[in-house]
Amino acid sequence: MRDGWEAEAGKWAEFTRTPGHYSSHDSIDLPALRDLLPEPGNRTLDLGCGEGRLSRFLRSLGHRVAGADASPTMVRLAVGHENPEPAVLADAAALPFRDAAFDLVVAYMCLHDMDRMPQAVAGAGRVLERGGRLCASIPHPVNSAGSFQGRDGDAPFLIEGSYLDTGPADWGGIQMTFHSEHRPVEAYSRALETAGLLIEAIRETRAPDAVAAASPGKRRWQRIPLFLHLRAVKPGVQ
């Protein structure tokens, strides 16, 4: 998956920086993440920062942000943006930061794209201070396990193969391929458990009423969750 995303980095930047190409990011995913974020603290890590879109958003909220991504092109795009953010080239499973360096780690739409997801979660736990939090967003595993059999609001949803087994979840987008892996919820909860992080909140994010009203076909995403958001804490007091 790392190689796949490096190959698609330029197209990803074009996709995310073109208004209207990723409407669910603006209208569904990002607002749900915002509701789970703690107030800005001392240091925030944007894990799997990509071309820097979330880092820029976090900075607008008052966070002091550093990014990390395994794709050299993504890092160049992040630091070369007209509103650049500091970012380092790093494997999420081997972060080059000291223990307890951050009070918040945000893994936005990236854990499903990581080859060594459990090790990445463990790395996030290591660099969090005690009392610090990990906030994460992924496509809901029910979503990545199947598909709607049509685009109208009442279209049936079909699980294709197995929900409980992991497997490739690559899919074609606008002139690019998204390289991901389907994993059940348990895979993520076990990764958090192993990392010593305690889940505080889980949200199964659906399309808001306003989105469904503007585009009736989006009503199907009020029946099946589009995204899964969670917040976990590293127990103890700093």
Q: In what order do the strands lie in the sheet with 65-69?
A: 87-89, 65-69, 44-47, 102-108, 128-139, 227-233, 198-205
How confident is the model at residue 161, as a pLDDT? 81
How confident is the model at residue 168, as a pLDDT? 62
Residue of 78 and 179 predicted with greater confidence: 78
% of the chain with per-residue pLDDT over 90:
66
Token pair belonging to 52: 């820097």
Least confident of 32-46, 47-61, 142-156, 158-172: 158-172
Q: How do strand 87-89 and strand 102-108 relate by DSSP bridges?
A: unpaired
Whether the predicted pLDDT of 179 surpasses 80? no
CB 217, CB 153: distance < 8 Å: yes
The span from the CA of 40 to the CA of 103, in Å, is 9
Say what the pTM is: 0.89
CA 67 to chain centre: 13
How confident is the model at residue 44, as a pLDDT? 98
Q: In which residue are the tokens 């010593």 written?
A: 196
